[in-house]
Structure 1
């Protein structure tokens, strides 16, 4: 059904409107499962585990493609014969103004502070302090958001608002001479 909706929508709207439609669709669907989601969020993943109601996401958060939220410890399976009802569960909390990179995994009980970046492919097993960037497996502190900002401002290219062709021409001129 998702593919049919996608095909119909693509014929009717431009890419930005389509992206906004998908983000809103994902947010509304996840809210119906019990995920608590703030305002102005871009959610590209629907991998919110078996207890989505234990997940809270603040305002202005991007959840990249294939990000996974794991709110339980599946390893207790090996004790299931001895303890048939065993479960270990913990909530996950994502602060405000956070970017969760593609293919990240957020483990049970993790709190990500405000103004954070989780690098692509990271496995976050511990709380992340506000204003920091973490990455790796397991995720470790990389730098502050302020240090990152200084670096990206040196290398940034202003392409927002350009047409596809204008953006292509600009980038080809920069990178290919």
Structure 2
């Protein structure tokens, strides 16, 4: 991607970005947020995002197995092969920064994928996964229980209000 193309993309509104991704065949539900630096690979039409899915910066979703490159050159009868797998992410999921979702994976509803995780297997509903490869580390209910005392109500605040709150609550 050229510098101009990259800059133009970053300046585009969120709705326009989603519209362009849909035009490439990506299925995107309602209420989704896709932050910058993502990569849907060469087959975005094999990716389905449910409603209220958030992809943090740098999320990569791949729908093909690049390893067949070796087979194509090793076995003449496989010179034209590919291997694909649809990727589906259920409703109300958060995929953390720089996570990678591999071909053929289905992530259930109400899931959290930790930052930099590599998801190689299906993830059941209501599960938190993390690591390389990603493994279940808890449930959504356990995540809430563990962190409930740390939750703060700041989503309604503007930038400066939130900054003042955070600087008071988390002093240097």
Tell whether the structures are fold-level matches, with TM greater than 0.5: yes
Indicate the RMSD between aligned Cα atoms, in angstroms.
1.8
Residues of 2 paired with 1:43 and 1:57: CA distance?
10
Tell me the CA shift for residue 161 of structure 1: 2.0
Contact 2:35/2:55 (8 A) holds in 1: yes
More helix by share: 1
Match for 1:115 among 110, 114, 120? 110
Contact 2:9/2:17 (8 A) holds in 1: no
Match for 1:69 among 54, 61, 69? 61
Q: How many residues align?
A: 164
Tell me which residue corresponds to 2:71: 79
Residues of 2 paired with 1:170 and 1:115: CA distance?
29
SS at match of 2:20: helix
Q: What are the ranges of 5 or more consecutive residues in structure 1 without an aligned counterpart?
A: 10-20
Residues of 2 paired with 1:34 and 1:104: CA distance?
22
Tell me which residue corresponds to 2:133: 138
Note if 1:93 corresponds to 2:88: yes
TM-score norm. by structure 2 comes to: 0.88
Residues of 1 paired with 2:129 and 2:166: CA distance?
29
Q: What are the ranges of 5 or more consecutive residues in structure 2 without an aligned counterpart?
A: none
Match for 2:32 among 32, 38, 41? 41
Residues of 2 paired with 1:30 and 1:99: CA distance?
19
Contact 1:93/1:112 (8 A) holds in 2: yes
TM-score norm. by structure 1 comes to: 0.86
Note if 1:3 corresponds to 2:7: yes
**CA 1:120 to 1:5, structure 2 compared with 1: closer, same or farther past 3 Å?**
closer
